[in-house]
Amino acid sequence: MTTYDFDKVIDRNNTGSVKWGLLHDVFGSSDLHPMWVADMDFPPPAEVTTAIRNRLEHEIFGYTFVPPSVGKAIQAWVKTRHHWEIRQAWITYSSGVVPTISTAVRAFTSVGDKVMLQSPVYTPFFSMVEKNERVVVNSPLKNVNNRYEIDFEDFEAKLKEGVKLFLLCNPHNPSGRVWEKEELLQIGELCKKYNCLILADEIHSDLVFEGNIHVPIASLGDFADFVVTCIAPSKTFNLAGLQASAVITSNQELRDLFQAEQQKQGFHTLNTFGIVGMEAAYLHGETWLTEALAYMAENIRYVQEYLEAELPQIKMMQPEGTYLIWMDCRELGLSDDELKKALIEKGKIGLEPGPKYGTGGEGFVRMNIACSKEHVTEGLKRLKAALS
Ligand SMILES: Cc1ncc(COP(=O)(O)O)c(C=O)c1O
């Protein structure tokens, strides 16, 4: 018996949902089946909604500080879930991980400095570097038998060129790779050797499927002082609209630099409901998360089975974490423009186009399966109509 009914479909139209309401702006057509933006179509844990409702009843929504109980909830969550012991003093709050990437780039590097990433990767990794007039250095991931690996020779060669900051995406969006301890140790040791800071975007860290373990890179080795980690309840519990996240580092100097940059931007606290939602989620969200992960694992299994039977030219990467499926469509022999046109015009489905994630994304699309099985089933039907 499960507590939550993830089969239940809730209409998200006319709620300002980016995924459902901006189809026309992004794809040029509004009658598409949305499986793009990385949020879930599920309501969050009941305790989160109750906590927000209780706060709402108070009816006064003035400036709100983040109380120590939130730090305590985060500390307990990362300890239980990821065996990572942190101090509450290591936590800084931020409205989101993308704002954190931008703030970190400004705080830890100067205009013209090199910032490294590994494509294909979440698009704002590029744009937050470029918009802040720093230089993107790319150490592309290697696709080995339909699974990404790090080319450590290239990684070290790039670090030697004087990279100031490395943006790590773990678990990895768009592929769902969960980097292993040995890989993370190698990353950390190399970054330390070349005096390169690490911004670890671990926003997907709670979304890891059986057989895989998320290891916070800051919990390893003797390079923790080089690492600033981003976590949030937004992906885990579907609270992206609440705009609340945490930035964790044991290095006080980095914390001071980061907070000074936040102050320059006039940032000083979170949204009242973000604070309430974040605390309730980390305190009470475990059962919901266990059930959500099981449901999404089943969706992934279903997609895999369907592709093997109906669209064998499409090879999906097996997500070790995240609710994103990275599909290799290169065997179809279509250009990215042709692929996009077929998906929109023939299939009427909204998927993320691979080239958005930089080099290595050509010929791929990304599907979000954090939705009801019914929605996945319809999506697959449309994928087949578009591409078979
Ligand atoms: C790797 C990664 N980082 C950050 C974000 C967004 O973070 P936020 O909404 O907190 O800015 C996403 C959303 O898809 C993501 O996949």
The CATH T-level fold of domain 18-44+286-387 is Aspartate Aminotransferase, domain 1 (3.90.1150)
The tens digit of pLDDT for each residue in 104-127 reads 999 999 999 999 999 999 999 999
Q: Which two tokens stand for residue 261?
A: 């940059």
Atom number, ligand 1, closest to the C-alpha of residue 100: 11
DSSP track, 243-305 = --EEEE-S-HHHHHHHHHHHHHTT-----HHHHHHHHHHHHH-HHHHHHHHHHHHHHHHHHHH
Residue with tokens 């475990």: 286
Cβ atoms of 353 and 344 within 8 Å: the answer is: no
- Could you tell me the distance, in angstroms and rounded to a whole number, from the CA of residue 169 to the centre of ligand 1? 10
Res 188: pLDDT: 98
Cβ atoms of 134 and 87 within 8 Å: the answer is: no
CB half-sphere exposure, 242, CA atoms < 13 A: 25
Q: Identify the CATH class of 49-284.
A: alpha beta
Report, as an integer, the average pLDDT of 209-235.
97
The tens digit of pLDDT for each residue in 26-76 reads 999 999 999 999 999 999 999 999 999 999 999 999 999 999 999 999 999
CB half-sphere exposure, 74, CA atoms < 13 A: 28
Res 221: pLDDT: 85
Question: Cα 163 vs. chain centroid, distance in angstroms?
Answer: 23
Give the chain's radius of gyration (CA, Å). 21
Looking at every residue in the chain, the average pLDDT score rounds to 98
From the CB of 52, is ligand 1 less than 6 Å away? Answer: no
Q: If pLDDT is split at 50, 70 and 90, which confidence band does 388 have?
A: confident
Res 79: pLDDT: 98
If one counts every other C-beta atom within 10 angstroms of the C-beta of residue 22, the result is 16
CA angle, residues 301, 322, 324, in degrees to nearest 5? 65
Percent of the chain at pLDDT > 70 equals 100
Tell the residue nearest (CA) to atom 7 of ligand 1.
Answer: 97
The tens digit of pLDDT for each residue in 361-382 reads 999 999 999 999 999 999 999 9
Percent of the chain at pLDDT > 90 equals 99
Res 2: pLDDT: 87
Tell the residue nearest (CA) to atom 13 of ligand 1.
Answer: 38
Cβ atoms of 370 and 238 within 8 Å: the answer is: yes
Atom number, ligand 1, closest to the C-alpha of residue 240: 9
* Residue ranges matching CATH 3.90.1150.10 in the chain: 18-44+286-387
* Residue ranges matching CATH 3.40.640.10 in the chain: 49-284
Res 154: pLDDT: 98
Atom number, ligand 1, closest to the C-alpha of residue 37: 14
DSSP track, 146-182 = SSEE--HHHHHHHHHTTEEEEEEESSPTTT-----HH
pLDDT tops 90 at residue 235 = yes
- Burial (CB < 10 A; 0-12, 13-18, 19+), residue 4, is middle
From the CB of 240, is ligand 1 less than 6 Å away? Answer: yes
From the CB of 96, is ligand 1 less than 6 Å away? Answer: yes
From the CB of 40, is ligand 1 less than 6 Å away? Answer: no
Task: Specify the length of the chain in residues.
Answer: 388
Tell the residue nearest (CA) to atom 10 of ligand 1.
Answer: 96
From the CB of 97, is ligand 1 less than 6 Å away? Answer: yes
Res 31: pLDDT: 96
DSSP track, 212-242 = -----GGGSTT-GGGEEEEE-HHHHHT-GGG
pLDDT tops 80 at residue 1 = no
All residues at 6 or more sequence positions from 246 whose CB lies less than 8 Å from its CB, including other chains:
74, 91, 92, 93, 94, 230, 231, 232, 278
Cβ atoms of 107 and 315 within 8 Å: the answer is: no
